[in-house]
Amino acid sequence: MKLAHLADLHLGYRQYTRQTPQGINQREADVARAFRRALDDVVAQQPDLVVVAGDVFHSVRPTNTAILDAFRRFQDLRSRLDGVPIVLVAGNHDTPRSAETGSILKLFEAISGVHVVAHEPRRLVFAELDTAVLCVPNASWSAAERPALEPDGTVTRNVLVTHREVEGVLPYEAAAALGYGGPPIRRSELRAEAFDYVALGHYHVVTKVERNVWYAGALEYVTTNPWGESHERGAARQAGEKGWLFVELGTALRVRFRKIALERAVLDLEPIEGTGLEAAELDTAIATRLRAVRGGIEHQIVRLVVHNVARVTARELDHAAIREYKTRALHFRLDLRRPQATRPVTLVERGRRRTLPALVEEYLRARQLAPGVPRDRFVTLGGEYVASAAQVGQDEG
């Protein structure tokens, strides 16, 4: 039996200000195109079952454009895969705070062969496939009683589909970004050994949790920090790849990652060390770094981190040039980071009392200076002021 495992579509996702000629947010259009490419590839692989493990939409109240496009895509998928069941399980982004509000996913039950599980766990049995699919939506994990994950003993194959963080899988940064206050699934309660395959959603990087437990990852970058996510390789061939999983269930389990071409690149450029650089020098370093990007930054999503930039230096940068970079890229983020505070000096160190001139010199040498101020002259002048003050004190004493 062949299964297509998709997750975290986040249709209707919007980011940045650029729009298409039709007035649609550019990133929303990018996400929609990635979904279409994925479905075309799913059809080419001819699976017997398609499951989407949560977060079909980015919002519980998606735009009419996103809803209409998604409906057409699932309707078209159903017509091109005649007789193949499609299972949609709700993720946290699909789930309103109140169950009485209703989920937008229920709309897709109007398409014959599409099965939606939005709030309570439900088992779907497909006799023609000799397969049972236990669907556990995200909301079920926040109920007073945790769901019991039991396989169906009357069929040959059992598949579990759920949307949640599994304990110990997500990196700290991802857990902080994706966690919504609910406790993760413990490995012991997942009961992976009882199922032939466990299809997970919520983590946006394709990841093998156990031999038969996988996150499919997202089809596009749909977080506020795509650059951090771009470094996470997961189970893909290269870091930052997006796609879906083609799973073959038989005498041996086979899971293959199917990469989807993205509309544009997410570029996290090599950082610049700004210590000691004046504004003009930093302008040159930024321009040099951007010119070195293979293929240019046009229409890409770009971040450049610059460490240890004083506030006065940041103010004196060539902001006209920075605005020009922003017009060329879909999004350009110049991440200027302030110098870290130095540790406080003390009068006594390692049992030795330090003199006031020594303390003042250490402070002045560590202090961030305005561009053009000579460090040695600044320190010398400070020492002269201290000596002068000491002399005055002796004269008056």
Mean pLDDT (10-residue bins), the chain, 397 residues = 97 94 94 98 98 95 93 97 96 80 88 94 96 95 89 96 90 59 84 96 95 96 90 84 96 95 95 94 97 96 95 94 97 93 56 71 72 69 70 53
In terms of domains, do 318 and 387 share one?
Answer: no
Look at residue 348 in the predicted model and tell me its pLDDT. 57
Q: Which of 178, 180, 140 is nearest to 160 (CA)?
A: 140
Q: What is the pTM of this model?
A: 0.82
Strand order through the sheet with 114-117: 114-117, 86-89, 49-53, 2-6, 243-248, 254-259
Look at residue 351 in the predicted model and tell me its pLDDT. 54
- The residues with which 303 forms a beta bridge, in sequence order, are 268, 333
**23 residue type, one letter:** G
Q: Which residues of 121-152 are buried (b: 16+ CB within 10 A; e: fewer)?
A: bbebebeebebbbbbbbbbbbeeeeebebebe
Look at residue 280 in the predicted model and tell me its pLDDT. 95
CA distance 270 to 304: 7
β-pairing verdict for 2-6 and 243-248: antiparallel
In terms of domains, do 205 and 318 share one?
Answer: no
Q: Which of 335, 334, 338 is nearest to 312 (CA)?
A: 338
In terms of domains, do 288 and 367 share one?
Answer: no
CA distance 150 to 107: 28
Q: What is the CATH number of the domain that holds 171?
A: 3.60.21.10
Q: Which of 275, 205, 215, 267 is nearest to 237 (CA)?
A: 205
In terms of domains, do 29 and 152 share one?
Answer: yes
In terms of domains, do 57 and 191 share one?
Answer: yes
Q: Could you tell me if residue 343 is inside a domain?
A: no
Q: Could you tell me if residue 78 is inside a domain?
A: yes
Q: Could you tell me if residue 237 is inside a domain?
A: yes
Look at residue 237 in the predicted model and tell me its pLDDT. 83
Q: Among 240, 259, 278, where does a domain finish?
A: 259
**159 residue type, one letter:** V
Look at residue 102 in the predicted model and tell me its pLDDT. 75
Number of domains in the chain: 3
Q: Could you tell me if residue 308 is inside a domain?
A: yes
CA distance 325 to 322: 5
CA distance 216 to 106: 23
Q: Could you tell me if residue 304 is inside a domain?
A: yes
Take residue 270 and report the two structure tokens written for it: 């090599």
In terms of domains, do 74 and 223 share one?
Answer: yes
Q: Is 239 strand, coil or helix?
A: coil
CA quadruple 321, 326, 332, 338: dihedral, nearest 10: 40
Look at residue 390 in the predicted model and tell me its pLDDT. 63
In terms of domains, do 145 and 27 share one?
Answer: yes
Cβ pair 1, 46 in contact under 8 A: no
Q: What range defines the domain where residue 88 resides?
A: 2-259
Residue 52: which H helix or E strand, with range? strand 49-53
Take residue 249 and report the two structure tokens written for it: 């269930």
Cβ pair 205, 215 in contact under 8 A: yes
